[in-house]
Amino acid sequence: MKKKKMTKTFGAIALSIGLFSTTIAAGTANAATYDTASIKDFRTVHTQVSVYSKPSQTAKKVGSLRATEAVVIEKAVANGWTKVRFGFDTAYVKTSALKKVTANTGTSFAKNISKKYTYTMPQNKGSEFNTHYIAQFKRTMAYNDSSVNFWFYNSEPDAQGVAEYDTAKGLYVGNVDTGKFELAVPYPVKKGASFKGFDNKKSVVASTTATVHMTGKTYKNVVIVKNDGQQFYYAPNTGLIQLRENGQALIKLVK
């Protein structure tokens, strides 16, 4: 059977929808049952660095990483190089450009990998494409083992592969077809904080105490992050519950 290639929609919006109880406030999730992806192989990039097809600066350059991005490593190799997962393949960067991270021990804005989530794309209404789709956490991709620990969305017209890593510095989100991750929510969360977010554009934490009523649920202490005209709504111990642009919902949690 022909496999559909996963591509990005809305640029780097990183469809990170979550769901939980009817009323959700900070700190309500049970840490023993709320699981996020392992950060053992996750590394932030602390200086801009080139990415190569082989562990040599004379090898073919296949890309680059900014100091605001992060990657998942596969293993360290000789002479100061590290093999990383880069898109649907692997590549090499200098180990000195990478930094280990520590896990977030406070309120999480990532999804619970033990759950499945159903959400909607209202812009598909009236088209041939389904308006609802399911997000499910996958340890590996069946037909490409370079993609690990990601959320698979059976969305239309394009399926999505999105990964997120909840670190002490913040929640990082990215698409598996690039292998690059960017900061979505900085920790500690503070109103007015600005940072380099998706597509290396300025993001601002516009609110940390919003109350959102949506599809029969009430979400409290919602963090709203603004990035280049888009507004991302993150509920504590839940994840992204809504994405809006130009006054319209692009994605929305339904159940």
Q: Which pLDDT tens digit goes with each residue over 9-43?
A: 333 333 333 322 233 333 333 444 678 999 999 99
Q: Cβ-count burial of 248 within 10 angstroms (0-12 exposed, 13-18 middle, 19+ buried)?
A: exposed
SS3 of 97, please? helix
Band (147; pLDDT cuts 50, 70, 90): low
DSSP 160: E
Q: What span, in angstroms and rounded, lies between the C-alpha atoms of 230 and 173?
A: 16
Question: Are 180 and 71 spatial neighbours (Cβ–Cβ below 8 Å)?
Answer: yes
Tell whether omega for the bond before 157 is within 30 degrees of 0, i.e. cis.
yes
- Residue keyed to tokens 């109880």: 21
* pLDDT number for residue 5: 38
CA 220 to chain centre: 22
What the chain holds in terms of domains, given with CATH numbers, is 23-35+105-253 (no CATH), 42-100 (2.30.30.40)
SS3 of 249, please? strand
Q: What span, in angstroms and rounded, lies between the C-alpha atoms of 230 and 15?
A: 13
Prediction pTM value: 0.84
Q: How many residues would you count in the chain?
A: 255
